[in-house]
Amino acid sequence: MFALIHQPARNAMQSGTKKSLKWIIEFPKQPERLTDPLTGMSSATDMLQQVNLEFDTKESAIAYAKSKSIPYRVLDKTKPKKKGRGYGDNFAYDRKFPWTH
């Protein structure tokens, strides 16, 4: 199993991108979970699935994985395409979709 190095997605509830600029090493999740028969709470024997390490750059995350001999896979985030529209285009006469209000 490979550790995953990636940038987290932006929070959908906010417009800021502060926490999505960091790089994270995420360890693979183990499917086996133990259920306590008395309380019904679940637990796991593998502590690594609860650990996420944050780094400022992708290179520092890769260097850490190499120094600890952790097999890793890097997922690069695709940049969103900006639409070149202005506010006035919402009221254009030749608008592609009808105004819904």
- Mean pLDDT within 55-77: 95
Which domain, by its residues, includes 64?
1-7+48-77
Residue 3 lies in a domain: yes
Rounded CA-CA distance 31/44 in Å is 9
Residue 69 lies in a domain: yes
Domain count within the chain: 1
Nearest Cα to 25, choosing from 45, 48, 46?
48
- Mean pLDDT within 62-71: 96
Nearest Cα to 64, choosing from 78, 83, 49, 51?
51
pTM, rounded to two decimals: 0.68
User: pLDDT-derived band of residue 42, with 50, 70 and 90 as boundaries?
Assistant: confident
Residue 66 lies in a domain: yes
Residue 39 lies in a domain: no
Residue 57 lies in a domain: yes
- Of the spans 19-23, 26-30, 57-61, 95-99, which averages the highest pLDDT? 57-61
Residue 61 lies in a domain: yes
Rounded CA-CA distance 49/71 in Å is 15
Residue 55 lies in a domain: yes
